[in-house]
Structure 1
Amino acid sequence: MIKTIIFDFGDVFINLDKEGAMLNALELFELEELSEELIAINTLYEQGLISTAEFIEFYTQNFPKLSKKEIIEAWNYILCDFPPKRLDFIKQLAKENKYNLILLSNTNELHINCIKENVPFYEEFKSAFNVFYLSHEINLRKPNTNIFEFVLKENNLKAEDCLFIDDTIENTQAAAKLGIHVWNNNPKTEDIIDLFTIKNNLF
C-alpha cells in the first residue's frame, strides 16, 4: 500500500519547454549541440557543486559576446506556466493527510529564484509538502541512485510503500530498481491531477 508519494516538479507541476529551451540556447551560443563540458557545468550547477556566480562566470568567459542578462534569460527559458489546478490538487492532498508528500526535483538557484518571482503561490505550493528536496540544496541529482537512497533513509521509508512520479524515464527507472513504485508521466497527454485515476491500481 502506498504511504508516501514523491513528486518531481518540472513537467509534473510547472510546465517546461525543454525542446524550445535547447533550440534557443544552441542558436544563442551558435552551437550545433551542447559540448560535454557545457553539460558537465550544467550538471555541477544543478547539484549545487558550483555557485550561481561561478556558473554565470563560466558562460560569460566562454561566450564573451553575451551579457549576463542574456545568459540568465536563456537558462530560464525552459520555465513556463504553473496551472493553478495543480496547486489545488496538491493542497487538497495535503489537507486529506492520507499520504506523506515529498517533492524531489533536479533544479538550481536561478530556476527557483525565477519561479519565486513569477509564481505568486510558490510558498503555498511548497508548504503542501512534508519535505521539499531541491538537488542544488542537497548536492544530489536524479537519476543517480544515491538521491533515492537519501530520501528513503532520511525519512525512514520502505521503497515498496513509495510512489515516485517523474516525466524523465531515466529517473523512474533508477527509482524502480530500488523497489519504488513509479509513474513515468507524459506531460503532453497526462496530468498530475488525474493521478488516482491513472494509477488507481496502486491505491
Structure 2
Amino acid sequence: MIKTIIFDFGDVFLTLDKSATLKHMKIHGATELSEELIKVNASYEKGLISSSEFVQLYITCFPKLTQDAFIEAWNSILIEFPAERLEFLKQLQASGKYTLILLSNTNALHIDWVKANIPIYEEFKSCFDQFYLSHEIHYRKPNRDIFEYVLNTNKLSPEETLFVDDTQDHILSAKTLGLHIWHLQAGKEEVVDLFSIKSDLF
C-alpha cells in the first residue's frame, strides 16, 4: 500500500524544453558542452558553486556570451506550469491519504526564474510535506545518496513509497532501493493520470 509519493518537478509539473539552452547558446558560438562543463553543471545543481561563479565559468569558456545572454539561454529550458497539474496536486493533498514529497534536480538560477515567472509556485510548494531541491540539500539524482537521504530523513518504507520522475536514470536508481516507480513519459503521459496509469499500486 502506497503511503508516500515522491514527485520530480521538471516535466512532471513544470513543462521543460530540454534542448532549448544549447540551441540558444549556439547563437553565441557555444556548439557543445565539454565534459568539464557537464561536471560544472552537476556541481551547480548540488549547490557546490555559486550562481556568479557558474555564470563566470560559462562566459569565460564562450567569450561571445554575455552574462545576460547566458542566463537567458540557461533559463530557456523552463516553459510553463499547466494549471490542471496544480489542481491535481491540491486535490491529492486535500485527500490526506499520502505524504507528498518533491525531489528535484535544480539550481538557483532556475528557481529564481520560476519564482519570478510562475505565479502559482508558492501555492504549489505549499502542497508538499517536504520540498527538496538538489542545490539546497547538496545531493543530486541519480546518485543513491539522495534517495537514502529522503528515505532516512522521513523514516519511509521503500515498499510503501512511489517515486515519479521523467528521467530513466533517476527511476532506475530509485528502483535499486526498492521504491515503486513511475517513469512518466513527458509529452505522452500526464501526472494527473497517476491513479489510472498506476492503478495496480492503489
Return the TM-score normalized by structure 2: 0.97
* Residue pair 2:47, 2:107 contacting (<8 A) in 1 also: yes
Whole-angstrom CA distance in 1 between matches of 2:82 and 2:152: 32
Distance apart, 1:21 and its partner CA: 2.7
Aligned pair 1:30/2:30, yes or no?
Answer: yes
Distance apart, 1:188 and its partner CA: 1.2
Distance apart, 1:25 and its partner CA: 2.8
Partner of residue 4, structure 1: 4
Whole-angstrom CA distance in 2 between matches of 1:167 and 1:147: 17
In the TM superposition, structure 1's runs of 4+ consecutive aligned residues that sit over 4 Å from their partners are none
Note the aligned Cα RMSD (angstroms). 1.0
Output the amino acid matched with 1:15.
T
Whole-angstrom CA distance in 2 between matches of 1:130 and 1:115: 20
Equivalent residue pairs, number: 202
* Residue pair 2:28, 2:64 contacting (<8 A) in 1 also: no
* Residue pair 1:26, 1:34 contacting (<8 A) in 2 also: no
Distance apart, 1:23 and its partner CA: 2.7
The SS at the match of 1:104 is strand
In structure 2, stretches of 5+ residues that fail to align are none
Return the TM-score normalized by structure 1: 0.97
* Residue pair 2:44, 2:135 contacting (<8 A) in 1 also: yes
Give a deviation string over 1:61-92, Cα, whole Å, max 9, x none.
22222211001001001000100000111111
What are the equivalent positions in structure 2 for 1:11-50 lying under 5 Å apart? 11-31=11-31, 33-50=32-49
Whole-angstrom CA distance in 2 between matches of 1:30 and 1:60: 10
The SS at the match of 2:63 is coil
Q: Which segment is superposed worse, 19-28 or 138-147?
A: 19-28
Distance apart, 1:27 and its partner CA: 4.1
The SS at the match of 1:18 is coil
Whole-angstrom CA distance in 1 between matches of 2:149 and 2:29: 36
Whole-angstrom CA distance in 2 between matches of 1:18 and 1:179: 29
Whole-angstrom CA distance in 1 between matches of 2:55 and 2:3: 41
The SS at the match of 1:89 is helix
Whole-angstrom CA distance in 1 between matches of 2:150 and 2:30: 39
* Residue pair 1:47, 1:141 contacting (<8 A) in 2 also: yes
The SS at the match of 2:142 is coil
Partner of residue 189, structure 2: 190
Partner of residue 70, structure 1: 69
Whole-angstrom CA distance in 1 between matches of 2:27 and 2:146: 33
Partner of residue 143, structure 2: 144
